[in-house]
Structures are given as structure tokens and as C-alpha cells.
Structure 1
Amino acid sequence: MSTLARYEHFGVDLAVLDLSTTEVLMLGTEVVFPPLAFLLVLMLLALAAHQAVIVLLHRGRRTVPYVIAVAAGLLGLVMFVRGMVGLLWVELSKREFPGLTPICLGLGLPLVAYGLWIARELRSPGRHTRGVNEVLILVGLAGMTVIGLFWATNVFAGAYGRGRAAEAAAELHTRPMVVLDLTQRLYLPEDLAGVDQFALDDGGSFTVRCQGLRLLTEAGGRLFLVPPDWEGAGRRTIVVPNDDSVRVQFLPD
């Protein structure tokens, strides 16, 4: 999703790049770390909070666990309602912080269930056996949490890819400059900023030189090139073969 969103910013569909599974995974590796770190921190905090609740229940303290139960129940209810609103109101989910709706849906009802569990333990601690219905409820809540986390990660990956693409578009001047020797001119606007085409008279088969384009990526035996001023009037991605029909030079910034 991150790689798809990144190249869509430049008008290139991921299928056109014809990347292998390994290449796609390598390009998207960086997006894995933020949600994975968030998930691990969330798990550690949840385990620590649950352990604290267990200690308070064993010591016979009722006030703090009761407050936690009420807070968890209310927060979970609010999150679930917010998640349902985002699910049904598409425009809201498009403008929200990435992943807010799936996170609310995934964690809302589990928080409500946790608040109810604390309340039950306060009434009759340790005297409950899990029946079939309770096991099914737990499985359903776990499944909802997993789906919500996967969905949130998917949304975050898309937003991350778009952010990385915008960052790359603003820093195209740092990408390698490409000099192309061609047998015919590229069909480009005459006023495309930073890109020049002129006749090449060296007696060979290449008659035109084009310089100034920046390398976006190389994939499937083709070069995907963009003008250095992407935010200007020249929003386009030029694709040329990376074979003997084109003579290519890369110049550092």
C-alpha cells in the first residue's frame, strides 16, 4: 500500500512498474516499523495496566478499579460510536487522522468488555467459569481487534506512502540527473522547466540529447523519469527503455 500510494503520486500505477514481490517488500520495509513499534508499546502498556488492576483487586481496593471500569466502558463506547460514524460517513474517514476509524472500531468494544469484566470481578471476584457464549464473545472481540489493527496499518501505509512521495517531489533536485541520447526528440513541452533538448551531431545514430530529467526509479527494463520541478506545470512521468536504443548517463546533483 505504501509503495502503491508513493508512485500514484507521480501518476504511475504499481502494476506498470512490474516489480517482483521481493522488490515491493524491500521498497515498503520502512513503513513496517512505526505501526509495529506502536503495537508493541500498546501491548506493554495494556499488560502493565492490567497487572495493576489485578493487584488492586487482590488487595481489596474497590474505588480505583471501579473508576477504571467506568472509564474503560465509557471510553470504549465513545470509540465504538466514533468508529461506526467513520465507517458509515466516508467523507469523515477521508479527512481524519490516518487509521482513527479502524482503531476506534478495533478497540472500542474490547474496552467496554474489559470494563464489564472489572465490574464483575468487583461484585464476585474469582467465582466465574467461562461458558461457550463467553468464549465466543472473546473470540469475536479478538477478531475485531485484529481486523481493526490490520485496517489501521493499511490506512497508515497509504498515508505514509503519500507523505514520502510528497517529500520526494519536493527534493527532486537531489535525485540523479539523467542525460539521454536518443534517435528522436521526446514529446515534451518546450517550456518544461529544467529540461533541455538539442540536436546532437556526433556522426552516430543518436541525433538528440535530452538532459535535466531526474530519475524516479528503474523497473522492468525501463527508466521512469520526472522533471525537476514537479510542483510546477510539468507534472508528468516520462518512460524510456533502458536498453541499447537509448544512451544513458547519470550525473550527480
Structure 2
Amino acid sequence: MPTGATSEEPARQPADAPGDDGTPAPTAIEDPPDPVSVLRPVIAVITTVGTPLTMITALLLYFGWARSDAQSQWMGIEVSLFRFTTQDYVLRSISTLYLPILATAIIGIAWLAAHRVLTEMIGRDGVTGTVRVICRAAMFGGLVVAILGVVLPPMTRRWEPGTVVWPLMIAVGTAVAVYGRHLSRQGQERTRPRSVIARPPDVLEAVLIGIVIAAAVFWAVQGYADIVGRGYAQRYEQSVSTLPRATAVSESPLGIDSPVVRTEQITTGPKTLYRTTGLRLLAESGGRLFLMTEGWTIQKGSIIVLEEDQSVHWQFSH
């Protein structure tokens, strides 16, 4: 090549242009979708419906309030008088919710194991006859269970466990039906390109499904809390004698009007004090003492609410 001559760069061929031997060139492979773009609709749904930790905390708080409210109403007292804090409600939930939470965790672990097996089958063999049967059984079976959870409550109003069973049927049935549909779609999307942009109807559908399941779960928690609250109230009725005996010494009579509460004068030098007996300690909350009279029952007996006062000295014993 003579000096000073410039070499020209060969012209680029289009991706699908034939090669030198006449064979078509391979089609260019598209870059995989950005993971952030794929997860964006999922993140949007999670932030809309709530994270699992937020949901669990909300359930614990709601259960604690509902249980305390049912117990208080059964005992003839308003729950707001206790002045419970958010922490108090959560702590009152843990003692009776650990078994349902443990059972839910075990079911979740089993579901994840089954989901992993089904996903591997779909990824390896596609939607086989077995997978297709599982998807249809999940969709139609879950739908039937959810419909029964809506239809049966008016017919079984006197069946107390129904307040827990029917909402759980709605929640579980909806979740199973949606999962079966998800598996079916996963098999279909295996052979077609996946869109990285979620359609608004899909996001709206996910939000509505989350609302249905969350509402059903809170309904079930309400029914379970009512049963537990009434059980605690009845347990107090049977075990009043095991509560700490409360004796008050005050500078003036406490003014408790009950046939089983006795007040006697105590003279100590120039002072006259008053001793009050016949009470049992129920609880202490929000700067208040909640006392039950001896032999308290739901039909008779009183619950006394007293503000904590430095002029009143209390002695508790068994």
C-alpha cells in the first residue's frame, strides 16, 4: 500500500444479512431484562399491601385489642379504662397466638417446598399433564372453598367456630386459586417473551387479591379473639380465689359499695386510718388498679377501678 493511503473500514452488515457463504447470519440476542424493571411491579404491590412484618405486627395489635375488648365486655367493663398501650396489646397477643403463628410457618415451609418442585418441573418439562391437573384443581378447588366461605356464614350463625373457619376458607381458597392460576401462567410464559412493564390491570388485580386475603384474615382474627376473650373472662370467674388478695389502708374510706367489702377503722396514735378488705387484684394498668370483689361472677359481683394514690397503701397476699 502506498505511503499516505488510508485504509477504509469495511461496511457493517445488518444483523440478519447473509454471510459470505450465503447462509443467513444469526439473529442478535437481546439483552436480558433489567432485574429492577422486572421487580418494580412486585415492589409496588408489596409497598401498597404491606410487608409481611408490618402485616404480622398489625395482626398482633388488632388481636390484642379485640381479645381485650371481648374479655372486658364479657366482664362488664369498658376496655378503654385499662389504658393499654400498643406494646400491651401486642404482648397480650403473643401468649395465645404463638400456636397459630407456628402452624402457619410450618404450612408455609411445606408450601415453599412444593412450589420449588413444581417450578422445577415446569422449567424442565413445561406444562405436563400432571402440572395441568394440579393447576386446574388448585384454581377450581380454591374458588369453591372461597365461595363456600361466603355462602355458609348466614346458614350457621350459631356455630361459634364458624367465625374463624369461614374467613379462613375465604383467605385460603383465594390464595390457592390465585396460586394455581399463577402456575398455569408461568407455564404459558415459558414459551413467549416476558414483558418488563407490568400492565395496570395486573397490578390492580394483585392489589385487590391482597385486600381480599387481608380482610378475610382480619375477620378470622376477630372471631378467634372473641372466643379467646370470652374464655379468659370465664376463667376469671372460676379462679377468683387464686388472684392476689388486696388489702388497702387509707386515710379516708374508699367508698366501695359492696356487701362483701368490709371497711374498719384503725387508730394509730392521733391518726385514724381505714382498712378495706374483701378485694382481689385483677390488673394494674395505666396508673389504675382493677379490683374484683370476693366471689365475683359474671352475673353478680363488681369490678372496682381506683386511681393509684400515694395516700392509699396496698398489701397483696395469697
User: One fold, TM greater than 0.5?
Assistant: yes
Instruction: Give the CA RMSD over aligned residues.
Output: 3.3
Is 1:92 paired with 2:157?
yes
> Counterparts in 2 of 1:210-225, with a 5 A limit?
210-225=276-291
Question: Retained in 1: the 8 A contact 2:265–2:272?
Answer: no
Higher relative contact order (CA 8 A, sep 6+): 1
Distance 2:82 2:233 in 1: 16
Q: 1:136 aligns with which of 201, 204, 212?
A: 204
Question: Retained in 2: the 8 A contact 1:227–1:236?
Answer: yes
Structure 1 counterpart SS, 2:273? coil
Distance 1:4 1:44 in 2: 33
Match of 1:64 in 2: 130
> Counterparts in 2 of 1:171-210, with a 5 A limit?
171-181=239-249, 183-184=252-253, 186-189=256-259, 195-197=260-262, 199-202=264-267, 204-207=271-274, 209-210=275-276
Unaligned segments of structure 2, at least 5 residues: 1-64
The AA in structure 2 aligned to 1:175 is: L
Structure 2 counterpart SS, 1:234? coil
Q: 1:75 aligns with which of 141, 148, 153?
A: 141
Question: Retained in 1: the 8 A contact 2:74–2:233?
Answer: yes
Q: C-alpha displacement at 1:43, in angstroms? A: 2.2
Report the CA distance shift for 1:138/1:21 in structure 2 as closer, same or farther (over 3 A).
closer
Match of 2:39 in 1: none
Larger Rg, first or second structure (1 or 2): 2
Q: Which moved more, 1:60-69 or 1:163-172?
A: 60-69
CA-to-aligned-CA distance 1:79-112 (integer Å, 9 cap, x gap): 211232257x397387334432332222323322
CA-to-aligned-CA distance 1:192-217 (integer Å, 9 cap, x gap): xxx4525334354334x432321011
Match of 2:54 in 1: none
- For this pair of structures, how many residues does the alignment match? 244
Is 1:231 paired with 2:301?
no
Report the CA distance shift for 1:116/1:93 in structure 2 as closer, same or farther (over 3 A).
farther
Report the CA distance shift for 1:139/1:175 in structure 2 as closer, same or farther (over 3 A).
same
Percent of residue pairs bearing the same amino acid type: 24
Match of 2:312 in 1: 246
What is the TM-score when the length of structure 2 is the normalising length?
0.63
Question: Retained in 2: the 8 A contact 1:176–1:250?
Answer: yes
Unaligned segments of structure 1, at least 5 residues: 190-194
The AA in structure 2 aligned to 1:109 is: T
Report the CA distance shift for 1:90/1:226 in structure 2 as closer, same or farther (over 3 A).
farther
Distance 2:127 2:273 in 1: 85
Question: Retained in 1: the 8 A contact 2:139–2:178?
Answer: yes
The AA in structure 1 aligned to 2:304 is: I
Question: Retained in 1: the 8 A contact 2:240–2:280?
Answer: yes
